[in-house]
């Protein structure tokens, strides 16, 4: 319909009804698009919004009463009302006009605003209907509509009948394809505030300079180590390294100013970055832009600029900037996981890089482990990623919005998803269990099912399989495929594996004061953890059996267990070893932590205290990197939220916080690391089942030593 004709339409605004005004006949294959008209095509002044309440099948607030319509005329400063039309089209041929797709935050479910929809009713009447919308969408559309020409756009809130569970389930299944088909995705971050214009301009300027350097050509498996050397200034004589370091120096003042005034922190804290649905919306379209207020920029420029920011920290803590550790640590950059998902998906689409893309399990880890990600409907934590997951078809998961708020339905869906990820032939990942610990937010879940809550605790075993080799194989190299054992209930998971040993001793008390949330600078708590490991090792030495084969190897547990035998080498995890001087770093860390404790508790006379400080010479040791900083960091990463244990045979390790004496250390086929389970009372028919407790590290069995036939068995987890 031509824009100039819209003003000639005279109508009385009634409430919009999807069934009569824009029925989607084939929701499995077709979808709606919205044509948003410019401000110049708004309704004539004699039109009034209807005061009629929406019918039951129309869009309306989910909580509270419908807001009252505003029948007053807009003031001179009030923008003209929003005007659009909705039309349907097959996804295989989404009209001849390219369309954009919107990624935004719904916010409150309340719908105090409306958009006027030009509609053709079944009887052929052309009319304008009023469709209620949220405040966040209303603000976004006012900013995004073009002043002169219509734009065609897909918006979930308007293009899906949210009150129709069947249509919603079908359309959610198509969302990945919709965002892939869009000519551009608009990521609406919100109106300008807290100096966001300057932040957007800084991202654009710095990102473009990095792009002009050609840095993106290093984004390959072979190129990453070279790029790491450039960014780390490994060879200051290298021309590209000098160019990169010059960029750091050039933009350090800009970053320092915007960190100090909180601008960048505020930008990172915008709600969009915490919404589950935005992940696939962000990753599927090559042309994706951030829109914040009136500023717009290519999202990939933010990634490139962010690399400069992350490698500027050493400059920023020094004069003339002298930013504090608190100011820098407050910059919790939420974009890295988004860009990781985006890069992997683009590689999958274009068959570049390794071309494999991310599975659903990997996406769930990226978006819910150790980060703030939310979804109003719990099952959307899974559904929001299906369009991005390369194994979505193999998993066979179909969105189901029946019984939306029912706990039993949520448990059924989350259990089914976990089972499919563990047992499907495409991926078969038993390490899904690494994220199945307690406490669970969703009541009634089986012990082995992850709930994927916000800030799910990460596993100590983190391997970037795209670029790094595995260094543990507790199940043995010959048992790397998951062995699924048929069970009698969908709530029971049967797995083949190996019985390792029974937990015989734990630290006194609950131990939480030393092993929970360990920070690398917290000397007293780290030393408390080491003392617990040492006490268990002493108890092991006093026993006649030695599963390690030699006293020398058993004593290595003192420095292997606290870091889960994992060493951070050039940003990749590798096996800890004497060759890497991990034992030396351990001793240096102990000396530094004991000194730190002494400094905080000493009652020595000033002269004596000064003599000890001069003798230790903290600054000189720091300059020479002789304070065991890397060991303390690995300890915080590997030992955090883990409890040391000793088994009956004398193995020393660490396990989940909820483990108890009598629990069993097991290794499942396909499992790189061991787990802890708790045997439950036998069923009336004699069947034995186990409660899943959590992941574990057990020194001495991480290379398959316990994966022998006499230990083999089936384990049924409830």
Joined together, the tokens standing for residue 356 give: 């494999």
Distance CA 170, CA 144 (A): 28
Joined together, the tokens standing for residue 81 give: 């009302």
Distance CA 376, CA 336 (A): 23
pLDDT confidence band for 234 (50 / 70 / 90): confident
Joined together, the tokens standing for residue 335 give: 């974009």
Joined together, the tokens standing for residue 15 give: 């409430």
C-alpha of 182 from chain center: 24
Distance CA 454, CA 11 (A): 48
pLDDT confidence band for 468 (50 / 70 / 90): confident
The more confidently predicted of residues 378 and 599 is: 378
Specify the pLDDT at position 74: 41
Other residues' Cβ atoms within 10 Å of the Cβ of residue 575: 17
Note the residue count of the chain: 718
User: What ranges make up the beta strands (E) of 12-65?
Assistant: 14-15, 30-36
Distance CA 521, CA 22 (A): 60
pLDDT confidence band for 56 (50 / 70 / 90): very low
Look at residue 267 and give its three-state secondary structure.
Answer: helix
Distance CA 168, CA 165 (A): 5
Specify the range with the lowest mean pLDDT, choosing from 92-96, 366-370, 619-623: 92-96
* Maximum Cα–Cα distance across the chain: 98
Specify the pLDDT at position 75: 44
Instruction: Say if residue 331 is preceded by a cis peptide, omega within 30 of 0.
Output: no
Distance CA 561, CA 551 (A): 16
Where are the alpha helices (H) located in 154-238, listed in sequence order? Answer: 156-159, 165-181, 196-213, 223-231
Instruction: Say if residue 320 is preceded by a cis peptide, omega within 30 of 0.
Output: yes
**Stretch 398-410: mean pLDDT, rounded?**
88
Radius of gyration of the chain (CA): 29
- Which pTM value belongs to this model? 0.87
Joined together, the tokens standing for residue 671 give: 């499992």
Give the torsion sign (CA, 613, 567, 248, 366).
negative
**Stretch 161-184: mean pLDDT, rounded?**
94
3-state secondary structure 87-121: EEEECCCCCCCCCEEEECCCCCCCCCEEEEEEEEC
Segment 536-580, tens digit of pLDDT? 999 999 988 899 999 999 999 999 999 999 998 655 678 999 999
The per-residue pLDDT of the chain, averaged, comes to 88
DSSP summary character for residue 567: E
φ, ψ of residue 349 to 5 degrees: the values are -70, -40
Distance CA 225, CA 571 (A): 10
Specify the pLDDT at position 94: 64
């Amino acid at each position: 319909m031509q824009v100039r004709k819209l003003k000639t339409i005279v109508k009385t605004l009634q409430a919009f009804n999807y069934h009569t005004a824009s029925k989607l006949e084939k929701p499995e294959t077709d979808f709606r698009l919205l044509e948003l008209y410019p401000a110049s095509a708004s309704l004539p002044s004699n039109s009034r919004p209807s005061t009629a309440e929406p019918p039951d099948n129309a869009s309306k607030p989910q909580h509270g009463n419908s807001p009252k319509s505003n029948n007053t005329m807009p003031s001179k400063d009030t923008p003209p009302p929003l005007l659009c039309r909705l039309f349907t089209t097959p996804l295989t041929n989404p009209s001849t006009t390219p369309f954009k797709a919107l990624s935004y935050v719904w916010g409150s479910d309340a719908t105090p605003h409306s958009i006027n929809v030009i509609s053709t009713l079944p009887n052929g009447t052309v009319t304008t209907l009023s469709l209620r919308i949220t405040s966040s969408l209303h603000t976004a559309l006012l900013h995004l509509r073009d002043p002169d020409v219509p734009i065609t756009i897909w918006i979930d809130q308007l293009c899906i009948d949210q009150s129709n569970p069947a249509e919603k389930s079908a359309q959610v299944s198509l969302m990945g394809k919709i965002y892939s088909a869009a000519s551009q995705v608009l990521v609406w971050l919100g109106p300008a505030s807290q100096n966001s214009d300057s932040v957007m301009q800084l991202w654009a300027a710095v990102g473009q300079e990095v792009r002009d350097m050609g840095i993106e050509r290093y984004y390959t498996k072979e190129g990453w180590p070279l790029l790491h050397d450039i960014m780390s200034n490994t060879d200051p004589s290298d021309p590209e390294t000098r160019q990169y370091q010059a960029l750091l120096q050039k933009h350090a003042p800009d970053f320092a100013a915007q960190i100090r005034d909180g601008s960048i922190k505020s930008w990172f804290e915008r709600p969009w970055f915490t919404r589950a649905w935005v992940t696939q919306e962000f990753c599927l379209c090559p042309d994706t832009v951030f829109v914040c207020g009136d500023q717009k920029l290519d999202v990939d420029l933010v990634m490139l600029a962010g690399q400069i920011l992350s490698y500027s920290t050493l400059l920023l803590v020094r004069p003339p900037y002298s930013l504090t550790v608190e100011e820098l640590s407050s910059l919790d950059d939420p974009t890295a996981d988004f860009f990781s998902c985006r890069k992997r998906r683009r590689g999958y689409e274009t068959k570049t890089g390794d071309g494999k893309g991310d599975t659903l399990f990997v996406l769930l880890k990226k978006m819910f482990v150790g980060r703030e990600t939310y979804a109003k409907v719990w099952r959307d934590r899974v559904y929001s990623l299906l369009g991005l997951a390369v194994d979505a078809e193999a998993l066979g998961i179909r969105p189901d919005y029946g019984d939306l708020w029912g706990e039993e339905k949520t448990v059924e869906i989350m259990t089914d998803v976990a089972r499919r990820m563990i047992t499907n032939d495409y991926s078969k990942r038993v390490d899904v269990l690494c994220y199945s610990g307690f406490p669970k937010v969703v009541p009634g879940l089986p012990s082995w099912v992850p709930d994927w809550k916000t800030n799910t605790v990460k596993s100590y075993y983190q391997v970037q399989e795209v670029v790094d080799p595995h260094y543990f194989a507790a199940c043995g190299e010959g048992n790397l495929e998951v062995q699924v054992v048929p069970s009698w209930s969908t709530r029971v998971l049967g797995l083949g594996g190996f019985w390792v040993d029974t937990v015989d001793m734990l630290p006194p008390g609950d131990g939480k004061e030393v092993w929970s949330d360990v920070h690398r600078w917290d000397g007293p708590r780290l030393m408390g953890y080491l003392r617990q490991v040492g006490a268990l090792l002493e108890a092991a030495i006093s026993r006649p059996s030695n599963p390690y084969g030699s006293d020398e190897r058993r004593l290595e547990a003192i420095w292997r267990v606290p870091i889960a035998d994992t060493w951070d080498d050039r940003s990749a995890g590798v096996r800890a070893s004497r060759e890497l001087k991990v034992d030396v770093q351990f001793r240096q860390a102990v000396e530094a932590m004991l000194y730190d404790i002494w400094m905080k508790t000493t009652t020595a006379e000033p002269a004596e205290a000064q003599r000890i400080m001069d003798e230790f010479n903290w600054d000189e040791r720091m300059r020479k990197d002789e304070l065991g900083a890397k060991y303390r960091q690995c300890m915080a990463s590997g030992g955090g939220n883990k409890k040391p244990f000793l088994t009956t045979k004398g193995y020393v390790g660490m396990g989940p916080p909820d483990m108890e004496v009598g629990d069993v250390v097991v290794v499942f086929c396909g499992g790189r690391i061991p787990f802890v389970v708790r045997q439950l009372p036998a069923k009336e028919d004699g069947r034995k089942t186990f409660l899943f407790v959590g992941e574990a590290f057990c020194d001495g069995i991480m290379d398959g030593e316990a994966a022998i036939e006499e230990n083999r068995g089936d384990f049924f987890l409830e």
